[in-house]
Amino acid sequence: MFEDLSFSLEGGSALVVTGANGIGKSSLLRTLAGLVSLAHGSIRLEGGAPDTPSEEHIHYFGHQDAVKPALSVLENLQFWQSFAAAAHVSGFSGSSVDPMDALNLLGIGHTARLPAAFLSAGQKRRLSLCRLLVTPRPVWLMDEPTSALDRVSETQLLGLMNAHLAAGGLIVTATHSDLALEKTLILHLRAGDAAAPSPEEALQ
């Protein structure tokens, strides 16, 4: 449960949520994603596409990879692309990446025709990341995005996240690692006290 938690974030910037295990980082992201309802308070998305629910502006990249094992790697991605509609809003210039190009970009193009069940944990994570590229949505909610990724993939991920910010996107991420993101605010959650990001905590 959160109390006295308040923050605002503008396009092109990231909020990095930190704090001890079990403090509520994932819960906060799930709440922002609309997977958990609010007891009090509100979450507002300004400048969204008209007649489009706020959830449809969001990509939620959680702990579960949501990979369908019987489909091929490429089929998984094509399914996701057809399932999630793009959200085009002013100030956000993200565009749709072709599924095969996305797999190549994340270094798993050679697995495209394999059943996704054959992928390693890190490869599944990369496939799941491809979802964010094939359907442009301005808000990325990312829970421990670097988990299971090797150094090279971690660097690639950072590049993708910074490119998303440069395109006017917005990122909220919970992480225990140092992510060298541009335009970042830190929100450190503490037991009995959830601090809003202060100017001193803001890294430019």
Ligand X SMILES: Nc1ncnc2c1ncn2[C@@H]1O[C@H](COP(=O)(O)OP(=O)(O)OP(=O)(O)O)[C@@H](O)[C@H]1O
| Smallest distance from ligand X to CB 106, Å | 24
| Smallest distance from ligand X to CB 96, Å | 31
Residue 5: count of CB within 10 angstroms of its CB: 16
Question: Which pair of tokens denotes residue 7?
Answer: 């923050």
Alpha-carbon distance 175 to 137, whole Å?
A: 21
Q: Which is nearer to ligand X, 36 or 202 (CB)?
A: 36
Q: Which is nearer to ligand X, 27 or 162 (CB)?
A: 27
| Smallest distance from ligand X to CB 17, Å | 8
| Smallest distance from ligand X to CB 25, Å | 4
Q: Which is nearer to ligand X, 22 or 50 (CB)?
A: 22
Q: Which is nearer to ligand X, 23 or 186 (CB)?
A: 23
Stretch (H or E) spanning 105: helix 99-105
Q: Quick one: which of 121, 118, 186, 128 has its CA closest to 157? A: 128
- Binding residues vs ligand X (CB under 6 A): 19, 21-27, 174
Query: Strands 184-190 and 193-194, how do they pair?
Result: antiparallel
